[in-house]
Amino acid sequence: MYNLSFIRADFPILSRQVYGRPLVYLDNGATTQKPLCVLDAMRDEYLNVNANVHRGVHYLSQQATDLHEAARETVRAFINARSTNEIVFTRGTTEGINLIASSFCEALMQPGDEVIVSEMEHHSNIVPWQLQAARRGIALKVIPINDRGELLLEEMDALFTPRTRLISIAHVSNVLGTVNPIAEIVRRAHSHGVPVLVDGAQSAPHFQVDMQALDCDFFTFSGHKTYGPTGVGVLYGKEEWLDRLPPYQGGGEMIETVAFEKTTFAALPFKFEAGTPDYIATHGLAKALDYLTRLGMNNIERHEQELTNYCTQQLKAIDGMRLFGEAEHKDAVVSFLLRDIHHLDMGTLLDRLGIAVRTGHHCAQPLMTRLKVSGTVRASFGLYNTREEVDALVEGIRRVETMF
C-alpha cells in the first residue's frame, strides 16, 4: 500500500515552510530529498565505523569495506546487472559519461569515427563528446526529435555509417519527460555492431531499470537524484566492454602493482575507482535504493504517472498555456510557458508562494534552440508529491497570471 502520509514523514524537510508558506517541492529532476533512513545510516557510519576502505587490516576498515561492497551488491540488484564487477562508483551521471567518453575514445576511436547523441540531451551528454571531438577528431551526429518531443528513429537509422562507434542517449529527457525506447535503440544499434551508453539520470529514480532487459552496454545515474546523497553515482558497464577500456584516472585503489618501470591495474571494477571512494555516500545510496525497493519501483512509477497526467490535464485547462513534451511515453516532468510570461518571472513568483520549480534552459541549450525558446518552467515530481501539491502549483500559476 502506497501511503503518502507515512512516506512524507520519512522526509522531514517536506514539512518546512518557506516565506511562511508550506514548501511545495517540485524540483526533483534537479535533486531529490533524502529519507531519514539514508541520513541515519550515514551519520551512524561516521559515528561508529568510519575508516578508509580496502586498505586496513583493522576492524573498522574491514567493517567499512564490507558496507561499501555490500552497497555495490545493492546497486547490482537494483539495476539487475549480472555482476558487481560491472558496477563502478563515480561522483554522478556526469562523471560516468566523462569516464566512458575519455576511456572509450582513447582505446577504441580514431579520428573521423562517430558518436551519435540526440537533440534532447543534457549538456553532460554533449560536452564530454565535444571535448573528445576537439582532442581526437571524432565527429558528433545528432538524432532529431519531432514536435511532440519524441526521437525520430528512422532518422537515427540513417545516421549509422561504418565509422559509427557508439550511441550515447538519455533514457528520459530532463526537460520533456520523454521516455526513449532504449531496448529498441539498443537492438538497432547492436544490429550495426554499435554499443549504447544510456544516461539514466532521469530514469533510475522513477521506474525499474533492468540492465539485462535493456541490454545496453553502459548505463549511468546519480545518487542524489535517486534519494541518496550527493557526490556519488553509478556507472554500469558490461564486463566485456569495461575490460577493453583503459583506466580513467590513476592513483591508489586502481592498481595491482606499481613500479617506476611499469604499473599493472586492478581487476574490475576497481580499475576505474582511483583514490578513496566516498564510502559513506555509497552506504547512503544503498539505503536509498533499499528504500525505493521497499516502496516498489512499480508503485512509484504508477504514482508519479498519475501526478504527471493530472498536472498535464490541469495545466492544459489554463488559457495561453504552452506545454513542451507531449510524448506518448513520458514521465514525471512537466515543462511549460504561460503566454509571454518569462520563465524566470514565473519561477520567482511561484517561489514566493512556496513552490519550488526549476526555470531556464535546464542544461539543454540545443533542445531550447530546437523548441525556439530561451527556457521553460519545469515541475518535476518525486515519489512523495501529492495531488494537493499539483493543485497548489496550478493555483500558483493562476495567481501569477493575474499579476501580469
Under the binding rule (CB under 6 A), the answer on residue 222 touching ligand C6P is yes
Under the binding rule (CB under 6 A), the answer on residue 94 touching ligand C6P is yes
Interface mask toward ligand C6P for 201-220; x: CB under 6 A:
xx------------------
**Cβ burial, residue 338 (10 Å; 0-12/13-18/19+):** buried
Q: Which residues pair with 223 in a beta bridge?
A: none
Of the candidate spans 274-282, 305-313, 355-363, 386-394, the one that interacts with ligand C6P by CB under 6 A turns out to be: 355-363
Backbone angles phi, psi at 184, to 5 degrees: -70, -40
Residue 398: CB atoms within 10 A of its CB come to 11
Instruction: Spell out the residues 6+ positions from residue 68 whose beta carbon is closer than 8 angstroms to its own.
Output: 53, 54, 277, 279, 282, 283
Query: What does the angle CA 60 – CA 65 – CA 71 come to, to the nearest 5 degrees?
Result: 130
How many chain residues interact with ligand C6P (CB under 6 A)?
Answer: 16
Q: Which is nearer to ligand C6P, 95 or 113 (CB)?
A: 95
Minimum Å gap between C-beta 54 and ligand C6P is 25
Minimum Å gap between C-beta 215 and ligand C6P is 20
Minimum Å gap between C-beta 391 and ligand C6P is 23
Query: Which H or E run includes 5?
Result: helix 4-9
Cell of 115: 558518436
| CA-closest candidate to residue 271, choices 98, 95, 85, 101 | 85
User: Using CB under 6 A, which of 32, 85, 93, 102 touches ligand C6P?
Assistant: 93
Instruction: Measure the CA–CA gap between 404 and 393, rounded to whole angstroms.
Output: 17
Under the binding rule (CB under 6 A), the answer on residue 234 touching ligand C6P is no
What is residue 236's three-state secondary structure? strand
Question: Is 216 annotated as catalytic?
Answer: no
Under the binding rule (CB under 6 A), the answer on residue 10 touching ligand C6P is no
Catalytic residue, chosen from 105, 216, 311, 363, is: 363
User: Using CB under 6 A, which of 33, 74, 132, 174 touches ligand C6P?
Assistant: 174
User: Using CB under 6 A, which of 7, 25, 26, 29 touches ligand C6P?
Assistant: 29
Residue ranges of the alpha helices (H) in 10-58? 36-48
| CA-closest candidate to residue 251, choices 271, 268, 274 | 274
Q: Which is nearer to ligand C6P, 221 or 270 (CB)?
A: 221
Amino acid at position 151, single letter: L
User: Using CB under 6 A, which of 199, 253, 278, 331 touches ligand C6P?
Assistant: 199
User: Using CB under 6 A, which of 68, 72, 122, 206 touches ligand C6P?
Assistant: 122
Catalytic residues: 363
List residues binding ligand C6P (CB under 6 A).
29-30, 92-94, 122, 124, 170, 174, 199, 201-202, 222, 358, 362-363
